[in-house]
Structure 1
């Protein structure tokens, strides 16, 4: 990056449709992750998905396990309580329990990040990620979805529920 800062990618994926959301954040902390999750919530709601539960790893940006009181007052946990979304944690050191997002990270790496020019600005990086996300959600066919796109999968569910 031109400004020599580190950037991180927050990502979340719908368990059923594989619809994904990513956002560039400047630090891995509760405030940035909470803000990015709130933006992802707006994205999913716009697609007709009302998340009931979120699964995260056990990072300090998501939870504090030191006590029940600390857990209740954690920034991310508080936001989840306000919006009515439950919280499930993966088993420590067991990425397989969050396999769908782990697979997404591998696809993101192979189809986008490896091709980035790391002299880019934050805006350019965000633009490249948005382009990837558009292809991933609306054009790319997924083997795990019987070669449908996540959007096609959402439309199929909507039709079934009518």
Structure 2
């Protein structure tokens, strides 16, 4: 498995600058910031952190959007990903990640050991080593994150599940002989009833 986090700017209420233009986008951002506050009382628009695990063989992806990329969030995500893949007949044995703080933490290491997962790291400053998840993030940005005009961050987050289903079950993938990634999972429970 390859794991990584993609950082995206949150969309202000009314839409972001990519679709409504810089001038109107700044107005939407200012209005959103004046309504919402972070834990310290400052304006909040901030970032969304998309945590992703992608299977090296099948290219099946599991992803969640969170408000941070801390070790606690990454470990919780790993546990949910292990359960999600187990429901589909896949056992995670190894996880390849970059050298981010969440993946270098003792919490990550201890949880990987508890789940019987070997944690491996890419060489520093070599994102090509984790290229499968990096390419997935580019496809995700084009197909979901910036594919259309979302009027709020929540609307974009709600659209992720449908896009991910399309990617895993229906979108042809060149690494899978132009079949969807899910076609390479041959031991999914209930598949041969």
Common fold: TM-score over 0.5: yes
Matched, 1:89 2:121: yes
- Equivalent in the alignment of 2:57: 16
- Pick aligned residue for 1:62 from 63, 78, 103: 103
Output the TM-score relative to the length of structure 2. Answer: 0.71
Matched, 1:33 2:74: yes
| Structure 2 residue runs without a partner (length 5+) | 1-10, 14-35, 37-44
8 Å CA contact 1:23, 1:126 repeated in 2? no
- Tell me the matched-pair count: 148
- Equivalent in the alignment of 1:101: 133
Distance 1:29 1:156 in 2: 33
- Equivalent in the alignment of 1:45: 86
- Equivalent in the alignment of 1:152: 183
Distance 2:162 2:123 in 1: 32
Higher radius of gyration, 1 or 2:
2
1:8-47 deviation digits (Å, cap 9, x = unpaired): 1001100000000110111111001111111111111111
8 Å CA contact 2:145, 2:156 repeated in 1? no
Output the TM-score relative to the length of structure 1. Answer: 0.84
Query: How far apart are residue 110 of structure 1 and its match?
Result: 1.1
Query: How far apart are residue 120 of structure 1 and its match?
Result: 1.9
Compared with structure 1, are the counterparts of its residues 138 and 52 closer, same or farther at alpha carbon in structure 2 (3 Å cutoff)? Answer: same
1:26-74 deviation digits (Å, cap 9, x = unpaired): 111100111111111111111110010000000111114xxxxxxxxx1
Query: How far apart are residue 119 of structure 1 and its match?
Result: 3.8
- Pick aligned residue for 1:133 from 132, 157, 164: 164
Compared with structure 1, are the counterparts of its residues 156 and 45 closer, same or farther at alpha carbon in structure 2 (3 Å cutoff)? Answer: closer
Secondary structure of 1:155's aligned partner: coil
8 Å CA contact 1:142, 1:148 repeated in 2? yes
Query: How far apart are residue 7 of structure 1 and its match?
Result: 1.4
Compared with structure 1, are the counterparts of its residues 96 and 120 closer, same or farther at alpha carbon in structure 2 (3 Å cutoff)? Answer: same
Decide which structure has greater helix share: 1
